[in-house]
Amino acid sequence: MTDLIKIAVDAMGGDNSPNKIIDGILHHHKLNNSVFYKIFGDQTKIKNHIGDKISREFFEIIHTTDLVKSTDSPLEGAKRGKNTSMWLAIDSVKKKEADIVVSAGNTGALLVISKLNLKMIENIDKPALSALWPNKKGMSVVLDLGANIECSSKNLSDFSIMGASLYTSLYPNEKPNVGLLNIGSEELKGNEIIKETYQILNDKKSENYDFSGYIEGNHLMDGDVNVIISDGFTGNVALKTAEGTANFITGELKKAMTGSLIGKISSLLNISNLNKFKKRLDPRLYNGAIFIGLDSPVVKSHGGTDYIGFSNSLDVCHRIVKGNLIEKIKKNI
């Protein structure tokens, strides 16, 4: 079983854990039997839920009852010690006992504990939080989404390499187009750091991606750019705005389709198209943010997702390791 990809799983993070986490593992295993799960958490609770639904050759349980609470500050989470399920899962990657780690727990604590345990990739100054967004033509990688409020032009340039490497790890047959998020498409728009970054990326000819210049917020979903670079403050605002807009649209559509008899009849006649629309905007299918820039990959699942969402974060883990993300970054940085 040495050829299996080993994923370290913090089973105690997020809502309804560990049951949701175990259900996600079981769902993922049905779709992919090339993964070994190292599960960190309360052995009794995990055993009771997992039962004999998966062969022991595909998982092991590392027992601990200590956990990082969702209400902890990042520093409080780190101070809970080296025996929490989150710390032990990250430590297993540090010791090369696992290839990648995933947690649905406290985001701030996960970032802090990861930085305490894992080294930065050489020549990278700051890690970034990245995620996948749907667009009209497929998917985009967006970073940074909140790990760094302030960034230098060097940081943003590094993010372009990390983002392009992540994209090619997930989609190996495509060459990404990198865009720099800005308030306009003209070269003179933006602050000095954005302008400096533009010059760096425009002057640097990369074999691994094409630089498409600036991209404005209203074009993020067009699909012409599939790696979008930003500082963490702007990126997080863009993320929350996109999430809020999607929730608003689906909510209004639901009201229109169920608010009257004509609406209900119309929804029945268009059930197939409505299901496609619902699936396209289902956040569970894009679950799994990646903390990128460390010498071992760390994936953050949304704490409020269900087992399908967590299963998708496990799929992201598998694709990242299979796509040799860390090796790609080290080669291109």
Lowest mean pLDDT among 219-228, 255-264, 288-297: 255-264
Same domain, residue pair 284 and 212: yes
Residue 55 half-sphere exposure toward CB, CA atoms < 13 A = 8
Same domain, residue pair 193 and 227: yes
Number of folded domains that form the chain:
2
Instruction: Tell me what the mean pLDDT of segment 146-168 comes to.
Output: 94
Per-residue pLDDT at 205 exceeds 90: no
User: Token pair for residue 141?
Assistant: 């990688």
Same domain, residue pair 85 and 213: no
Distance CA 62, CA 88 (A): 9
What percentage of the chain reaches a pLDDT higher than 90? 66
The pLDDT of residue 53: 93
Task: Answer whether residue 70 is part of any domain.
Answer: yes
The pLDDT of residue 1: 52
For the ranges 22-36, 197-211, 213-227, 253-267, the one whose mean pLDDT is highest: 22-36
pLDDT band of residue 185 (cuts 50, 70, 90) is: confident
- CATH code, domain carrying 299: 3.40.718.10
The pLDDT of residue 263: 62
Amino acid at 234: T
pLDDT band of residue 211 (cuts 50, 70, 90) is: very high
pLDDT band of residue 199 (cuts 50, 70, 90) is: very high
Task: Answer whether residue 332 is part of any domain.
Answer: no
Q: What is the pLDDT of residues 84-123, one digit of tens each?
A: 999 999 999 999 999 999 999 999 999 999 999 999 999 9
Task: Answer whether residue 329 is part of any domain.
Answer: no
Lowest mean pLDDT among 61-65, 151-155, 197-201, 269-273: 269-273
Same domain, residue pair 41 and 13: yes
Task: Answer whether residue 272 is part of any domain.
Answer: yes
Residue 128 CB coordination number (10 Å): 29
Same domain, residue pair 186 and 157: yes
Q: What angle do CA 178, 183, 188 make, to 5 degrees?
A: 85
Same domain, residue pair 256 and 139: yes
Same domain, residue pair 104 and 138: no
Q: What is the pLDDT of residues 61-83, one digit of tens each?
A: 999 999 999 999 989 999 998 99
Same domain, residue pair 244 and 303: no
Distance CA 170, CA 324 (A): 9
Same domain, residue pair 272 and 237: yes
Task: Answer whether residue 51 is part of any domain.
Answer: yes
Tell me which residue has tokens 């990404």.
176
Q: What is the pLDDT of residues 291-321, one digit of tens each?
A: 999 999 899 999 989 999 999 999 999 999 9
The pLDDT of residue 187: 74
Per-residue pLDDT at 273 exceeds 80: no
Task: Answer whether residue 253 is part of any domain.
Answer: yes
Domain that holds residue 309: 1-124+293-323
User: Token pair for residue 5?
Assistant: 């990809």
- By residue count, the chain amounts to 333
Strands 35-41 and 5-10, bridge-based pairing: parallel
pLDDT band of residue 279 (cuts 50, 70, 90) is: low
Same domain, residue pair 71 and 135: no
The pLDDT of residue 2: 59
Give buried/exposed letters for 231-248 (b at 16+ CB in 10 A, else e): bbebbbebbeebeeeeee
User: Token pair for residue 171?
Assistant: 């989609």
Return all residues near 193 (Cβ < 8 A) that are at least 6 apart: 151, 152, 153, 156, 231
Same domain, residue pair 62 and 113: yes
Q: 125 near 35, Cβ under 8 Å?
A: no
The pLDDT of residue 33: 92
Same domain, residue pair 253 and 272: yes
The pLDDT of residue 115: 93
The pLDDT of residue 206: 83
List strands edge to edge, sheet with 177-181.
59-63, 35-41, 5-10, 100-103, 298-300, 289-292, 128-135, 138-143, 227-229, 177-181, 210-215
